[in-house]
Amino acid sequence: MRKFFRKFLPQHETVRSHRWIKPFGGWLQHPNLWHLHRRSVAGGVAVGLFCGLIPGPLQMIFAALLAVLFRVNLPVAVFITFYTNPFTILPLYALAYELGAWVSGAHSGVATAKLSFPEMQWHDWMGKLWDWLLLLGEPILIGLPLLAVVLAISGYVAVRVAWRVMVILKWRARQQKTEDRGQRTE
């Protein structure tokens, strides 16, 4: 798993010496922010999944802040927020609305009328999106944090389990290789 992530992540020194990040150097010194081990990566995935449902470009900023606060892998946390994109955001928000409506007991029949996305222009998309979210009301306000928590917990557990399975498979492969060598020498 570590080799897989290393291909995509920048080197610690490269990031630390970047001119925009240099003023925050003291906060970015903790080893868990950059090391690839199961707790740090799993925490980074959880933070990224949680912050990915925050609207707009704020998701990466909040992912970075939470990664520093919880001392989990910073690049993984920021990268994972990209699971929300123009193709996935509407289905995720629809799922959050339905989850919030189910938890709050709101009438689900109104959901189809409210979930129709408004027509937006490039100059007023943020205002229209905010108005649309306000129209959805209580179910979306309950569903978004609830879905974010469920995704974060699921992501954390999935990474921990996958990492453990990979370690066990490598141990077994190494043990098998040692046994094969021992049988050849006899």
Q: What is the mean pLDDT of the chain?
A: 81
Cα separation, 74 vs 67, whole angstroms: 5
pLDDT of 4 reads 67
pLDDT of 89 reads 87
pLDDT of 18 reads 66
Cα separation, 140 vs 118, whole angstroms: 16
Tell me the pTM.
0.73
pLDDT of 178 reads 85
Tokens of 45: 């995935």
Render pLDDT for 14-34 as a digit per residue (tens, 0 to 9): 666 666 666 666 666 677 777
Residue with tokens 């970075």: 64
pLDDT of 56 reads 73
Whether the CB-CB separation of 41 and 5 falls below 8 Å is answered with yes
Whether the CB-CB separation of 77 and 93 falls below 8 Å is answered with no
Residues in the chain where the model's pLDDT stays below 50: 110-113
Cα separation, 176 vs 165, whole angstroms: 16
